[in-house]
Amino acid sequence: MTDCNCIFCKIAAGEIPSRTIRETEEFRVVLDVAPATKGHALILPKNHYRNLLDLPQEMAQKAMVLAKETALSMKESLGCDGINLVQNNEEAAGQTVFHFHLHVIPRYEKDEQKIVWTPREFSREEMDEIADKLKR
Ligand code: AMP
Ligand code: ZN
């Protein structure tokens, strides 16, 4: 289940060279070509899924386990001081490559990177309504 026009399908399949730091039957973990920090990695499923919204449950679980293992190895081998997991879904959320990927970004004191948003205010009524809509 791959998409012949998808660059991450080709990278995950090993058809395009990448700096692979970990590989399983279902995933390849590679260094991001334009890293935010030293060691910035991407967890890529070998099968093509557009993003989290169509990623099977079991693959989502496995991706998180791989993220944890990758984070631990970044801490051990690169001595990073923290780690961000970032995962963008659809253009509105900043997704630029439409094949699921999970960013694992090692963070260093004074690395001068920022992963930020501006906090917004909602009224109590709005917050109650949002919570009601999302409640399962
Ligand atoms: P996103 O904005 O979440 O879709 O992130 C896409 C990421 O893919 C960016 O961080 C890019 O630097 C990275 N990227 C794009 N092309 C390649 C490539 N050929 N190899 C490795 N990383 C890539
Ligand atoms: Zn793909």
Q: Which H or E element spans position 83? A: strand 82-86
Q: Which of the ligands is closest to the CA of residue 101?
A: 1
Taking the centre of ligand 1 as the mean of its atom positions, its distance from the CA of residue 92, in whole angstroms, is: 16
Q: What is the pTM of this model?
A: 0.96
CA atoms within 13 A on the CB side of 32: 18
Taking the centre of ligand 2 as the mean of its atom positions, its distance from the CA of residue 6, in whole angstroms, is: 4
pLDDT in tens, 59-113: 999 999 999 999 999 999 999 999 999 999 999 999 999 999 999 999 999 999 9
pLDDT in tens, 33-53: 999 999 999 999 999 999 999
| Catalytic residue list contains 48 | no
